[in-house]
A and B are shown apart, each in its own frame.
Chain A
Amino acid sequence: MIDNYVYVIVALLPLSALMLVTQTNPYNALVIRAILGAVAALVYSVLGGADVALTEALVGTMLAVTLYVIAVRSSLVMRLGILAQKPDLTEDYITEFIASLRKVIKKHHLRLELVEYPDRDSLKQALLNREIHGICDRSGTSNIDNNPVYQTTIRVHRLFEILQKEFTYPDLKISYITPPNSEDKH
């Protein structure tokens, strides 16, 4: 004999699984995965598998989700090298530029991480060594309104495509380079 409520509880499992596969944002999907783990633990214990339910609760809702959040957080990131700002020189323009860049890559669930370098040579060398995904440097001022022109160089082709298509900012030049294939770093 199986009680009627068991059927209703078991039906919650495909419902939450459907919710999980329709998510596009990876972080939202991981929170839904934790919800799926809680529902699965309930289903397993109702069906009599106490040991399976315990494992699902420990691994499914805590360990796997936590580790995956750390993994997604460190891989879905765009590292942009900039020149170190002098403390007396407060430039509003670069913060505005960074804010609008952040808005564009946020649509693709990417995070922006700024890496500061002391001078132009070390900035370029870091890009060639594949330590960062792109560099941003001011290369003079525009003739029309004296705003600084930012020269952005990207070495990841997909990032370059995204920025070229969606990043519309006045006085901005985006270029793409392929660093020499010395070693396999990403």
Chain B
Amino acid sequence: MDSILIAMILALLIPIYEAWQDDDIWQKMLAFASIATKTSIMMLVISVLRDDWSIGVVAVITLSVGEAGLMLLAHLIKRLNEA
């Protein structure tokens, strides 16, 4: 089962590289959306692997909080470019 997680870590490196090399703020936001979702899914997989419910609950909360934070941040940055 470790190979699944190693593949997920490799997939996580793609948006991290994108966030590092692209200077456009919306590309960075896109990378952030991708990373926030991927890390939460990885936490869910680990919670199933270890049969640990407390990590699973945290993963679900992180998933929704990541999306909420993304929406708040996107609204603020959008209004920044308008003014």
- Specify the chain A residue showing the minimal Cβ separation from B12: A12
Query: Do the beta carbons of B25 and A19 come within 8 Å of each other?
Result: no
Interface of A is mostly: helix
Of the candidates B9, B20, B69, the one whose C-beta lies within 8 Å of that of A65 is B69
Interface of B is mostly: helix
The interface size bin for chain B is 35 or more
Of the candidates A34, A48, A111, the one whose C-beta lies within 8 Å of that of B32 is A34
Interface hits, A130-153 → B, CB 8 Å: none
Bound state CA distance, A39 and B8, in angstroms? Answer: 13
Query: Do the beta carbons of B73 and A57 come within 8 Å of each other?
Result: no
- Tally A residues with Cβ within 8 Å of B: 38
Cβ–Cβ < 8 Å partners of B28 in chain A? 28, 31-32
Q: Which residues of A contact B (CB under 8 A)?
A: 3-5, 8-9, 12, 15-16, 19, 25, 27-28, 30-32, 34-35, 38-39, 41-42, 45-46, 48, 50, 53-54, 57-58, 61-62, 65-66, 69-70, 73, 111, 113
